[in-house]
Amino acid sequence: MSLSRRVTAEFIGTFWLVLGGTGTAVLAAGFPKLGVGFVGVALAFGLTLLTMAFAIGHISGCHINPAVTVGLFSGGKFPGSEVIPYIIAQVLGAIVASAVLYVIASGAADFSLSGGSNPFATNGYGDHSPGGYPLSSALVCEVVMTFIFLFVIMGALDKRVPAGFAPIPIGLVLTLIHLISIPVTNTSVNPARSTGPALFVGGSALSQLWLFWVAPIVGGALGGFAYRSLAGGSDR
């Protein structure tokens, strides 16, 4: 596939991930009496990744996450020359998804971009962590969760593993990551996912955004490198 087709697929995929995941958090997580809660949000993120992996995995690889793109580069499975175009497409997809979600959510009479510790499904630490976790906890959580995310992705894509099943463990591990870490940071492990909502909320969401770029990128790079070191090159 040409690079233009692949980055277009990344745009669409990230759009769906952010709209499906953060949309569930904003519109359905706390819906009166019958909200889906943390479990529903975790499943939403896992399902959006699972469905899009089957839809565009054969086109772009379905990274839909700058940390995954960097991690796959670190793991020797993605060319460095295409990292930046992929990341740009992913961030743009996340921003457009957040704009669509804002249009939908703002139709509610009680909608607010300033309410709660993590308005509009933004990520944060300290006073902006759902559980009040400090920067140190948020940093460790995001690095470790993204490390495991990339480690599982690399293993699922290993050519020694039966082909065609990779989206299943990848979607499931993202669900598990959210179940663990929503109380800590509202779960990022994806700089694009964090950037879209933060641009609309501004303030502390933007001032804390640096962490949700640095930690996932570091964790992703370490995860990709660790799997490559452990498994060697015999999967090629």
pLDDT at 118: 76
Instruction: Tell me how far CA of residue 82 lies from CA of 15, 73, 85, in angstroms.
Output: 19, 9, 6
* Mean pLDDT, residues 79-104 taken together: 98
pLDDT of residue 39: 94
233 compared with 37, residue with greater pLDDT: 37
For residue 197, give every residue at least 6 positions away whose Cβ sits within 8 Å of its Cβ, in sequence order, or none: 18, 22, 98, 101, 120, 121, 122, 123, 205
pLDDT at 35 over 80: no
In this prediction, residue 171 has a pLDDT band, given cuts at 50, 70 and 90, of: very high
Helix (H) or strand (E) holding 181: helix 167-185
pLDDT at 109: 84
Tens digits of per-residue pLDDT, 141-165?
999 999 999 999 999 999 888 878 9
Reported pTM:
0.94
% the chain with pLDDT above 90: 86
Where are the alpha helices (H) located in 107-201, listed in sequence order? 135-157, 167-185, 191-201
**Contact of 223 with 71, CB cutoff 8 Å:** yes
In the chain, % of residues over pLDDT 70: 95
Say if residue 33's pLDDT is above 80.
Answer: no
Query: Which of residues 76 and 236 earns the better pLDDT score?
Result: 76
Q: What is the mean pLDDT of residues 95-114?
A: 92
CATH 1.20.1080.10 for domain 3-231: yes
2 CB-near residues (< 8 Å, 6+ apart): none
Pick from 6, 8, 14, 12: which is nearest to 64 by CA?
A: 14
**Is the pLDDT score of 19 beyond 60?**
yes
Rg from Cα positions in the chain: 17
Handedness of CA 24, 93, 217, 68 (dihedral sign): positive
Dist CA 66 CA 234 (whole Å): 26
Mind listing the pLDDT tens digit for each residue in 39-82?
999 999 999 999 999 999 999 999 999 999 999 999 999 999 99
State the distance between the two ends of the chain, measured CA to CA, in whole angstroms. 20
Give the orientation angle of helix 37-60 with respect to helix 3-27, to 10 degrees: 170
Given pLDDT bands bounded at 50, 70 and 90, which one contains residue 236? very low
CA distance linking residue 141 with residue 130, whole number of Å: 14
Residue 95 exposed, middle or buried by CB count within 10 Å (0-12, 13-18, 19+):
buried
The SS3 of residue 92 is: helix
Angle between helices 37-60 and 167-185 (to 10 degrees): 140
